[in-house]
Amino acid sequence: MFEIRRSNERGHANHGWLDSYHSFSFADYYDTQHMHFGALRVINEDRVAGGQGFGAHGHRDMEIISYVLDGALAHKDSMGNGSTIRPGDVQRMSAGTGVRHSEFNGSPTDTAHFLQIWIIPDAPGGAPGYEEKRFADEDKRGRLRVIASPEGEDGSVRLGADARIFAGLFDGAERADFDVPAGRRVYVHVARGAVTVNGKALGAGDAAMIEDIAKVSVEQGENAEVLLFDLA
């Protein structure tokens, strides 16, 4: 299976201060055909106006990844963590038995553009946790660099879920191949730019859902930033 979902097929909500696109059912957007893909439950592409953000709110039993594309995102949580993340930073918050946090644009004027990703954990009721790592552009240039994994492999943030997330930057002749482990599925999300995945052209906000295919090839990028999810 190689199924493409275009950017304009996603759910959309514009609240003025928040302009958000939902790859899967979320809040008022409900789509029985797009509830999740394996353990991948949410990809929200959010643009938050300067000085605005999400006030303190609760989560539980979810692995939450924040991936900033432009601007800055200021985070505070009930575990005592406080940080401002920027492009290149990957933040993981394990909600576990329950945690409260807030996320605000780190600039009073500039728009913050980021992806919020939720992954269903292997088991409910774990201890809440937080981790943050930085991955330089040169580490992602022309390759798929692991940024999140169950064992924290190669310096990635550690997930409490059977999933790995890779990030890559592709332009011109740069190419990367991903050998899909037996019995796994892959979800590719184009965060920006344009790229070809297994010969199919994808643009910003597009995604490919892939099953029963042994290799995923990413190439012919035009200022592309890509996330690849390796899922059970």
Task: Please state whether the predicted TM-score (pTM) of the whole model is above 0.85.
Answer: yes
* Fold matches, 10-134 and 137-231: yes
The answer as to CATH 3.30.420.40 being correct for domain 10-134 is no
Q: Can you give the residue ranges of every domain in the chain?
A: 10-134, 137-231
pLDDT digits 0-9 by tens, 87-106: 999 999 999 999 999 999 99
The percent of residues above 70 in pLDDT, for the chain, comes to 100
d(CA 106, CA 8) in angstroms, rounded, equals 28
pLDDT of residue 30: 97
Secondary structure of the chain: what % helix, strand, coil (to 5)? 5, 60, 40
Tokens of 76: 């505070």
The CATH homologous superfamily to which domain 137-231 belongs is: Jelly Rolls (2.60.120.10)
Rounded to an integer, the average pLDDT of 160-173 is 98
Specify which residues 104 forms β-bridges with. Answer: 53, 74
Rounded to whole angstroms, what are the CA distances from 209 to 116, 184, 231? 18, 12, 11
pLDDT band at 173 (very low <50, low <70, confident <90, very high): very high
pLDDT of residue 104: 93
Average pLDDT over the chain reads 97
pLDDT digits 0-9 by tens, 32-90: 999 999 999 999 999 999 999 999 999 999 999 999 999 999 999 999 999 999 999 99
β-strands 145-149, 157-158 pairing? parallel
pLDDT digits 0-9 by tens, 139-162: 999 999 999 999 999 999 999 999
